[in-house]
Structure 1
């Protein structure tokens, strides 16, 4: 594992030049970044950008000028440097953001990565991802991020992208998420779905860091507070870049942030899965218990959330923090364990089997009346409350 190069806020730079047409700093020492800009730029746009730079009396390095001339003249230019070798695969951290095709965490359709090195953006890149064949794009998510099936048809599935690209650097740098309950869960589900091993990732969640710092938790609210421009919300690179800048602000406010760094390790995940495995007999018993304590749609319509205790277990179809906020905003109380003070247990995929057993024990032996709601039941409850 590489040593992390922690940095100060005042030194973090975008390394771009603020002229009429966005580009990179013509004086940058990051040759990879400049050549990558030239290689990917549309020649007419590059020509206009070059003219705007000259108009501002900014001179290029000679090798940069040659690269620009080659691209404008031939329409082609190949970056002579390789990534991540150019940076010796050493980064301060990498901010990442996923987009999904639908509500399922395994349906990742794009990932954006922003690499920070020596207090600057060293590289930023996005990859479209072909979701598993069973994961279809929902109209809601297409409208959210603009990615549809046709955009991913010729891209790799995540296991191929991991082997060919992501595994080169995600195991060797600190990974920064905003709302790890979403993006980290996506990563975990992808590893599990494709049976990927050998990952050993250190990560930190800016939402958790913001909460510890007494700051607002939402990306948009944090960006507004720190006067960080969100270039394109739900574009994976834009969101990853915003996450990177927010992280840099928060570590100044909360010096003990290193204690919040966590690990995602293949061997540890295997151990967790083994511990969570239960016998077929127990699973069948749980199904019977869930059916016994579930409620009808009519009963859901009559639920009064106020002063009721709710506990969540398993992978939900909606963000867990949003679900908790919904309960609290309607006067309910979030519980961390199954006790007599719980009124409803909301279960998703991979719910805790022991919690279901505890519900049965309390209901049958302590005369409690704990009800079990599925993901769809809870969604119906939210819809009812919104009307």
Structure 2
């Protein structure tokens, strides 16, 4: 299994307001590396207090951080050609799309899956498929709503799901999950 688990935290309700990005690189079914970037969003210095209450990232934390445009080429080189998995993938795909649009970057086609759907296929009887609930179910401790921690837990939940579903490689992901969505 090779994939990149990805997670964004946002400063506002705007889809281009990424203030943190975390990725977890999985190669041969093992977590290779987890990275994160604080990002100065276009709304700086405005952050919605509801968003801050969720993730704890403040304008002061990103005051000297790079913009999404400054880090995109590094991120793109890490994720290009890989399957992307995110928990509540529609949200993260919208944020990525919004950031790319805001800065006028080409939007590459990327295959992505939602780890909620993967977990629902693996465990049909859970009461909740939220990231925190799934982590608790699997006794995984993490700093919820920080992008690197969320990306790594997403990767761990996905790997456990694939193991339970007896999926051992990316070709089997295609056959089991069929339709994969594209970021256009």
TM-score under structure 2 length normalisation: 0.84
Aligned CA-pair RMSD: 2.1
Picking from 153, 175, 179, the partner of 1:242 is: 153
- What SS is found at the alignment partner of 2:98? helix
Inter-CA distance 146–227: structure 2 relative to 1 (3 Å threshold): same
Aligned to 1:101: 11
Q: Does 1:222 align with 2:134?
A: yes
Q: CA deviation at 1:198?
A: 5.0
The 4+ residue runs of structure 1 with deviation greater than 4 A are: none
- Shift of the 187–135 alpha-carbon distance from structure 1 to 2, 3 Å rule, reads farther
* Number of aligned residues: 174
The gaps in structure 2 that reach 5 residues or longer are: none
Structure showing greater relative contact order (alpha-carbon pairs closer than 8 Å, 6 or more residues apart)? 2
Distance 2:27 2:173 in 1: 19
Contact 1:105 1:189 in 2 (8 A): yes
In structure 2, how many angstroms separate the alpha carbons of the residues matched to 1:133 and 1:224? Answer: 34
Residue pair 1:209, 1:257 contacting (<8 A) in 2 also:
no
Tell whether the 8 Å contact from 1:179 to 1:207 is kept in structure 2 after alignment.
Answer: yes
Cα deviations by residue, 1:130-171 (Å, 9 ceiling, x for unpaired):
1114772122222322211121122222122112x1111211
**Residue 190 of structure 1 pairs with residue 99 of structure 2:** yes
Aligned residue for 1:106, secondary structure, equals coil
Structure 1 residues 263, 135: CA separation in 2 closer, same or farther (over 3 Å shift)? farther
Higher strand share: 2
Question: Within the alignment, does 1:145 sit opposite 2:62 as a pair?
Answer: no
Q: Is the 8 A contact 1:93 1:174 kept in 2?
A: yes
1-structure distance, mates of 2:72, 2:93 = 15
Displacement of 1:228 after TM fit? 2.1
SS at the partner of 1:200? coil
Counterpart secondary structure, 1:151: helix
Residue by residue over 1:300-353, the C-alpha shift from the partner in whole angstroms, topping out at 9 and shown as x without a partner, is xxxxxxxxxxxxxxxxxxxxxxxxxxxxxxxxxxxxxxxxxxxxxxxxxxxxxx
Residue equivalent to 1:121? 31
Q: Report Cα offsets for 1:109-139 as digits up to 9, x if no partner.
A: 0001111223332211110111114772122
Residues 3 and 83, structure 2, Cα contact 8 Å, conserved in 1? yes
Cα gap change, 1:162 to 1:132, in 2 (>3 Å): same
Residue 264 of structure 1 corresponds to which residue in structure 2?
Answer: 182
Given that residues 95 and 177 in structure 1 are in contact (C-alpha distance below 8 angstroms), is that contact kept between their aligned partners in structure 2? yes
* Counterparts of 1:261 and 1:113, CA distance in 2: 23
After TM superposition, the structure 1 = structure 2 runs for residues 43-122 of structure 1, keeping only pairs within 5 Å, are 92-122=2-32
What stretches of structure 1 of length at least 5 have no aligned partner? 1-5, 7-91, 270-387
Q: Distance in 1 between matches of 2:53 and 2:106?
A: 34
